[in-house]
């Protein structure tokens, strides 16, 4: 019953917000750089979207292991991790080796509801044991025209490419 | 010499009128793992977080997120700093507090000498010599505080006792972030108190030429607003001295230190 209602709400939302046009999608291309060090541990990484009041609306990805070090993804921890236990569990994935990864966002919030058009910011945060922490952020207009952004590489994150179709 | 230091430390715990700042410094302000242990350093020193004198951990307690107050599981008084450990067995915000009860002293002049007795305003008449003059009773107290959050922070351990100088933490200590404004309110015996003198210092003073301490004060409604510019660990040191109409004292001298961290944005 819950699923049925949810689906109905979703269909209703979609029909109101994106009539007859192809659905907008945000594509996030991030890179975990190769880091030469004596003791390399894969970074803990979080990717999420905040609204213009700096409230998280959607956790997109979380690559991590032990809970002890979750707090070290500092902004993620404050905005989401410390209070959204179920969401954290649901989005948790394994840590990744260096390389380029592509993620996408469909404009839905964590509850699956479509968000209104407006300014949002995507965050990518990486924290590495015995290493550093990098935070990349890029604001964009959801519901606006096609956009493309790049953010320069940081010590723990390669160049970030954001595309809104 | 030992007695002089002991007396000094006793004075530190009961008075703001000394150069040394008393602080508690937890090993972590934020934890994301259940049943974590916390270690707390206690020291009195001139330079922030450069330990100078270990103080007695006897009056150190920890208030759990459910409001229950506990003694620390183990503690040790060292020469330069003391240490205490406790296991944090529930989610929420903990208050670490080093504080004794308020102490009353009555000062007076007798035969050209300034003297004092441990008595409040009601007790003093029975103890004062007949020729005592310039009689003044003070109530003094100091507190050193810090807050640690495990997973989701909560408000219970932030509650005020309405006794002495306290800080109403409108910005939760777990939400203090570099470059973002902090708003707190000073309360004395549960009422807002204006013109509390505040000195804000940040760790690492030993390694920079400009200590960068900020001198602040509370406004007419007791509010203190500031924006920490750098992420790191800070000590806020506050003191107030006021004449009082209390039945037990003529003057109130209170001091408070709060150790907190400003997180990375």
Best residue in B65, B151, B231 for a mutation probing chain A (most A CBs within 10 Å): B151
pLDDT category of residue A107 using cuts at 50, 70 and 90: very high
Which residue is closest to A134 within chain B, CA to CA?
Answer: B264
CATH architecture of A22-164: Sandwich (2.60)
Q: Measuring CA to CA, which residue among A26, A9, A55 is closest to residue A142?
A: A26
pLDDT at B237: 98
Q: Which residues of A74-97 are buried (b: 16+ CB within 10 A; e: fewer)?
A: bbbbbbbbbebeebbeebeeeeee
Q: Which of A15-19, A111-115, A134-138, B46-50 has the lowest mean pLDDT?
A: A15-19
Cross-chain Cβ contact B152/A135 below 8 Å: no
Q: Domains plus CATH for chain B?
A: 2-102+138-262 (2.60.40.3880)
Residue partners of B9: CB distance under 8 A and separation at least 6: B44, B53, B55, B56
Instruction: Take residue B205 and report the two structure tokens written for it.
Output: 């003073």
Residue range B52-65, pLDDT digits in tens: 999 999 999 999 99
Q: Where are the domains of chain A?
A: 22-164
Q: How far does the CA of residue A1 sit from the closest CA of chain B (Å)?
A: 31
pLDDT of residue A18: 46
Q: How far is A135 from chain B (nearest CA, A)?
A: 9
| Cross-chain residue pair B265–A75, CB shorter than 8 Å | yes
pLDDT for B5 equals: 42
Contact B32 A85 (CB under 8 A): no
pLDDT digits (tens, 9 = 90+) for A73-101: 999 999 999 999 999 999 999 999 999 99
Are A74 and B152 a contacting pair at CB < 8 A? no
- Tell me what pLDDT residue B12 has: 43
- Note the maximum CA span of chain A: 55
Mutate: best of B26, B29, B32, partner A, most A CBs <10 A: B32
CA angle B51, B208, B180 (to 5 degrees): 90
* Rounded CA separation B248/B119 (Å): 9
The dihedrals phi and psi of A70, each to the nearest 5 degrees, come to -60, -35
Checking if the pLDDT of A32 tops 50, the result is yes
Q: Is the pLDDT of residue A143 over 70?
A: yes
**Closest A-chain CA to B176:** A78
Residue B256 has pLDDT above 60, yes or no: yes
CA angle B160, B216, B93 (to 5 degrees): 30
Contact residues for A103 (Cβ-Cβ < 8 A; gap 6+): A27, A28, A29, A30, A47, A60, A61
- Residue A23: its pLDDT value, please? 84
Residue B76 pLDDT? 97
pLDDT tens digit string along A6-15?
444 444 444 4
Band (pLDDT 50/70/90 cuts) for residue B100 is confident
Chain B residue numbers with beta carbons less than 8 Å from the beta carbon of A81 are 32
CA closest to B37 among chain A residues: A68
Q: Which two tokens stand for residue A87?
A: 């969401």
The pLDDT of residue B78 is above 80: yes
Encoded tokens for B240:
């107030």
Q: Nearest by CB to A74, which of B33, B36, B264?
A: B264
Burial class (CB in 10 A: 0-12, 13-18, 19+), A23: exposed
């Amino acid at each position: 019953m819950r699923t049925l209602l949810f689906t109905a709400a979703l269909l209703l939302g979609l029909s109101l917000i994106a009539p007859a046009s192809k659905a907008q999608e945000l594509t996030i291309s991030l890179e975990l750089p190769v880091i030469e060090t004596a003791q390399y541990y894969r970074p803990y990484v979080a990717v999420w979207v905040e609204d213009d009041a700096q409230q998280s609306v959607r956790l997109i990805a979380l690559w991590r292991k032990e809970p002890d070090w979750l707090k070290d993804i500092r902004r993620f921890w404050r905005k989401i991790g410390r209070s959204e236990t179920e969401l954290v569990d649901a989005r948790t994935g394994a840590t990744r080796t260096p390389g380029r990864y592509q993620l996408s966002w469909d404009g839905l919030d964590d509850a699956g509801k479509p968000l209104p058009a407006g300014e949002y910011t995507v965050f990518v945060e990486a924290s590495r044991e015995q290493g550093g922490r990098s935070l990349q952020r890029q604001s964009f207009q959801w519901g606006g025209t096609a956009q493309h952004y790049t953010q320069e590489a940081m010590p723990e994150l390669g160049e970030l490419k954001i595309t809104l179709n | 010499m030992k007695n002089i230091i002991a007396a000094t430390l006793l004075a530190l715990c009961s008075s703001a009128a000394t150069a040394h700042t008393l602080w508690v410094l937890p090993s972590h302000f934020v934890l994301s793992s259940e049943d974590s242990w916390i270690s707390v350093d206690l020291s009195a020193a001139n330079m922030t977080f450069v330990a100078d004198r270990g103080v007695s951990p006897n009056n150190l307690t920890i208030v759990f997120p459910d409001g229950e107050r506990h003694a620390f599981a183990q503690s040790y008084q060292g020469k330069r700093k003391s240490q205490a450990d406790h296991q944090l067995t529930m989610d929420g915000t903990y208050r670490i507090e080093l504080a004794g009860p308020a102490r009353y002293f009555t000062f007076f002049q007798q035969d050209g000498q300034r003297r004092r007795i441990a008595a409040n305003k009601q007790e003093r008449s029975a103890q004062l010599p007949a020729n005592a003059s310039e009689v003044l009773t003070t109530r003094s107290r100091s507190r050193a505080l810090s807050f640690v959050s495990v997973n989701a922070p909560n408000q219970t351990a932030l509650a005020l006792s309405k006794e002495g100088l306290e800080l109403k933490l409108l910005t939760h200590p777990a939400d203090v972030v570099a470059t973002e404004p902090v708003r707190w309110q000073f309360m004395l015996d549960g009422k807002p108190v204006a013109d509390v003198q505040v000195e804000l210092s940040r760790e690492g003073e030993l390694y920079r030429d400009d200590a960068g301490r900020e001198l602040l004060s509370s406004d007419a409604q007791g509010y203190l607003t500031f924006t920490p510019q750098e992420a790191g660990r800070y000590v806020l040191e506050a003191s107030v001295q006021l004449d009082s109409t209390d039945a037990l004292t003529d003057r109130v001298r209170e001091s408070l230190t709060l150790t907190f961290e400003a997180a990375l944005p």
